[in-house]
A and B are shown apart, each in its own frame.
Chain A
Amino acid sequence: MKIDLTDTTASKINKALVQGRRAIGTPAVGMVLTLVIVTDEENAYDALKAASDASHEHPSRTLVVIKRVSRSPRDRTQSRLDAEVRVGADAGTGETVVLRLYGEVADHAQSVVLPLLLPDAPVVVWWPVNAPLDPAKDLLGALAQRRVTDTYASEQPVRDLATRSGTYTPGDTDLSWTRITPWRSMLAAALDQVTCEVRAVEVEGEEFNPSCELLAMWLADRLDVPVKRSLSGGPGLTAVRMDTDCGPIVLDRADGSLATLSIEGQPARGVALKRRDTAELIAEELRRLDPDDTYASALRYGVDRLKAPKGARGEPGDQGEPKSDGRARLALPAPRETAAKAPASQATAEAPVKQEPVKQAPVKPEPPQLEPVRKATTK
């Protein structure tokens, strides 16, 4: 059921939650955490959808904080809080409160959120877009044990990675890091099968995809060898090549779902390595709420220490990298469209530009999706 409250307060929202639970006849609830989603109106729908899918695994109270834009001086002086309380079938397996903040109260969202947190249960804050550069210092972030950002959705992912490594506080995490868990686990499994020493690594993937940098930094941090980041047309990460003293180990995924693992002296094998949707990523993120030291260590390795491809990253029209494996790949074309739908539309010369992925392998057709979902699902 759904209860709409206009110009309301946190205590009225709490009353509505109790009332809603009574009405559907389930006074006791087994929610394990409070998930706070901080977003704008544009991304709220998709984020909430992902969270309610994830709530099947982690029943939670979901608080969606939407800061409304004030467009006139009069708007800015008026302060108003509207809420939409959903319990029962409308809210996955927990409770959802959508909070819309107008005017001054938008700067004091923590005062609304604090009374609505579940007693004792952990708090997770997730910014699907526009995450603060220092999440732990953010007023809402300070309430949480876990702060989930997503550099993939950011304007300048590589710069953000560098900043976050400076501001890292235990409990910070990044969905771009979550996205590469299957890759990391497959690469670890590949090294389980051989007793070779890795001498150098190359990580290849689309531009402006911080998952590639994170994977490269993790490999560099763990293996202590030079790691080169090179560009391809995607989708997402496309290959990791490890040069070892007993021949190359290559994990190659051209189509975003089925990868090939080739190890020198062993038959090449197909492995499923599909790109996961946001709900799965959030579900993984909520599984462990303790600080992710591996992420911290990889992040602190420093994005500048990676051997970058020729041409500064971030310059549109970068022609990519001649492929070392000898396969002819098309160079990336010059940008064709500006980032019209990117969170901030003032695309500057330095801003990332959405590029048409250049695909040489057959590509799994992607189902038609709304732009924000697509943005969030792409690895």
Chain B
Amino acid sequence: MSSSNPLRDPADRRLPRIAGPSGLVIFGVTGDLSRKKLMPAVYDLANRGLLPPGFSLVGFARREWAHEDFAQVVHDAVKEHARTPFREEVWQQLIQGMRFVQGTFDDDDAFERLRSTIEELDKAQGTGGNFAFYLSVPPKSFPVVIQQLKKHGLADQKGGSWRRAVIEKPFGHDLKSAEELNKVVHEVFAPDQVFRIDHYLGKETVQNILALRFANTMFEPIWNRSLVDHVQITMAEDIGIGGRAGYYDGIGAARDVIQNHLLQLLALTAMEEPASFDADALAAEKTKVLGAVKLPKDIGRDTVRAQYAAGWQGGTKVRGYLEEDGINASSKTDTYAAIKLEIDNRRWAGVPFYLRTGKRLGRRVTEIAVVFQRAPHSPFDTTATEELGSNAIVIRVQPDEGVTVRFGSKVPGTSMEIRDVSMDFAYGESFTESSPEAYERLILDVLLGDSNLFPRTEEVELSWKILDPIEEYWDENGKPAQYPAGTWGPVEADEMLERHGRSWRRP
């Protein structure tokens, strides 16, 4: 965006950030993610007037589609999944820039066709050579697609234009594979042109962690070891592995969720105040706190992994993990993982961070609970405070986004009796009913080249450094515990906290 544009004025805050001339190429455009999230997000952006005139969308897949078939698929996907109402004029604007390129990832002709499509779009739509390549493909195809882009000159930035790569998790399955992947990608795209999508970071509530902590005065003074007893970060799913056996078996919950989402949430919760809200300053603080993470001394005692057994989940009888289609009956893959981490710095020394995630748990929920110490002295007698728990601030990430503060209050009546109550801030109640989807925000940021909300190479590698020793220990010792589907995890996980006189919140 040219800064010399006289119509742009930072004080004019009604004008939205519109991406400059550009286009998006989606590899694996026939996949679920593309249909359910990416295409609707592109439409929603256009509908909100945030895409530049002439924005182009190119699909690349094996299917034998003409441009019209592709447009039809996008049309259906948008109608079904878009957040904002369908409007014909917005659609007319989008459809002019829609192209489809048929081919497989090792097909040189197809990539040549992709290149001529891009050149044609530069002429017809004025995209100015600026393209982002969204790799919505299985991890094993990453290297070949990246190499093809290089071979056919698609990654070359000419005359002030940009080419960016957008990649999805998993970013490898351990430190070594992550480093290899980074090498492959960085050989072709400069590090600042690679955007790793962790869709959690696009969520409004996650960005609100920063606002809550650093825009207010009342939270930061208590956000430390003097008052915080421990922190629980939970991401629970009620679904099983569904049809993803091939991907999931051998990966497991810890690699799938803890390595990226939960450690990012931990970093945002625990990091120091960044010098500014730009990408470098944020990454610096996140890297610092991830680098300070300390693993438990006894990994066997302070981590738990488990698999769901057959049971009843919300009124439906469901199979256990080992009975799922395509899963080896002797699989040791974890569908539940809980780990205790500490952060070795002045703010957090001695405060445990409990991270847990699992499939087939009670309900779908993601939250961060900062649990405070009990009052050092209570003037009330013990019967009065019998029902009083610890104070807590809970950031609900999804669903029902918001913040809850839990504290004690007197129960109305003649006797002094104190009980926990909660004070609620619901996002949907105070702000827009439908806040932008994470992918909307992230795609726009890619087009704008704004990398605030994307984890960097160092963060990814540091996360693997935290998780690798735990995975190694699990590989060599014992086997996963079992928990009935539809419950809040195995008893071992409860015992892990009970040893220190704590207990898991029921989210």
Question: CB within 8 Å of B: which residues of A?
Answer: 28-32, 56-59, 93, 178, 181-182, 184-193, 195, 198, 219, 222-224, 257-258, 261, 263, 266-267, 269-274, 284, 288, 292-294
Contacts and interface: CB of A to CB of B under 8 A. Distances in A.
A267 B14 contact: no
Interface residues of B, number: 44
A267 B54 contact: yes
Given A28-B424, A56-B432, A93-B433, A258 B92 contact: yes
A36 B236 CA distance: 43
B92 A59 contact: no
- Among A57, A188, A198, A261, max chain B CB count under 10 A is at A188
A267 B432 contact: no
Contacts of B90: 272, 274
A363 B47 CA distance: 21
Contacts of B8: 188, 192
Given A193-B21, A261-B53, A93 B429 contact: yes
Interface of B: 1-2, 4-9, 11-16, 18, 20-21, 46-47, 49, 52-54, 87-90, 92-93, 96, 123-126, 128, 423-426, 429-433
A223 B8 CA distance: 10
A192 B1 contact: yes
Contact of A293 (B11, B21, B87): B11
A294 B14 contact: yes
A189 B4 contact: no
A193 B161 CA distance: 12
B12 A294 contact: yes
B435 to A, nearest CB: 10
Nearest to B433: A56
A57 B432 CA distance: 4
A196 to B, nearest CB: 11
B7 A292 contact: no
B484 to A, nearest CB: 34
A291 B124 CA distance: 41
14 contacts: A32-B431, A58-B432, A59-B429, A93-B429, A185-B14, A188-B7, A192-B1, A192-B18, A193-B20, A267-B126, A270-B93, A272-B87, A288-B13, A294-B9
Contacts of B88: 257
B126 A269 contact: yes
Given A195-B4, A294-B9, 11 more contacts: A57-B431, A182-B49, A191-B6, A195-B2, A222-B6, A258-B92, A269-B53, A270-B93, A271-B53, A272-B93, A288-B14
Contacts of A182: 49
Contacts of B15: 181, 184-185, 188
Contacts of B432: 56-58
Contacts of A222: 6-7, 9
A32 B433 CA distance: 13
Contacts of A193: 20-21, 52, 126, 128
A267 B52 contact: no
B423 A28 contact: yes
A188 B87 CA distance: 23
A102 B215 CA distance: 46
B430 A186 contact: no
Nearest to A187: B7
A148 B8 CA distance: 24
Contacts of B126: 193, 263, 266-267, 269
A56 B92 CA distance: 28
CB-based closest 10 A-B pairs: A30-B429, A188-B7, A294-B12, A30-B430, A272-B90, A258-B89, A272-B89, A257-B89, A57-B432, A56-B433
Nearest to B128: A193
B49 to A, nearest CB: 6
A119 B20 CA distance: 43
A272 B49 contact: yes
Nearest to A33: B430
Nearest to A253: B89
Contact of B52 (A30, A57, A189, A293): A189
Contacts of A271: 53, 93
Contacts of B425: 30
Contacts of A178: 14
Nearest to A184: B15
A184 B429 contact: no
Nearest to B2: A192
Nearest to B435: A57
A41 to B, nearest CB: 30
Contacts of B11: 293-294
A269 B125 contact: yes
A269 to B, nearest CB: 4
B25 to A, nearest CB: 19
Contacts of B52: 189, 192-193
A153 B267 CA distance: 52
B20 A269 contact: no
A288 B12 CA distance: 11
B120 to A, nearest CB: 11
Contacts of A224: 6
Nearest to A265: B126
Contacts of A293: 11-12
Nearest to B423: A28
Contacts of A258: 89, 92-93
Contacts of B123: 267
- Among A29, A182, A195, A269, max chain B CB count under 10 A is at A269
A180 to B, nearest CB: 9
Given A184-B15, A270-B93, A274-B87, A191 B7 contact: yes
Nearest to A267: B124
A344 to B, nearest CB: 31
A224 B7 CA distance: 11
Contact of B18 (A32, A189, A257, A274): A189
A266 B21 CA distance: 12
A272 B18 CA distance: 14
Nearest to A285: B14
Given A93-B429, A258-B89, A272-B90, A191 B53 contact: no
A363 to B, nearest CB: 13
Contact of B125 (A257, A267, A284, A294): A267
A59 B429 CA distance: 6
Contacts of A58: 431-432
A188 B431 contact: no
Contacts of B49: 182, 185-186, 272
B96 A269 contact: yes
Contact of B46 (A257, A267, A272): A272
B7 A223 contact: yes
Nearest to B124: A267
Contact of A184 (B7, B47, B431): B7
Contacts of B47: 272
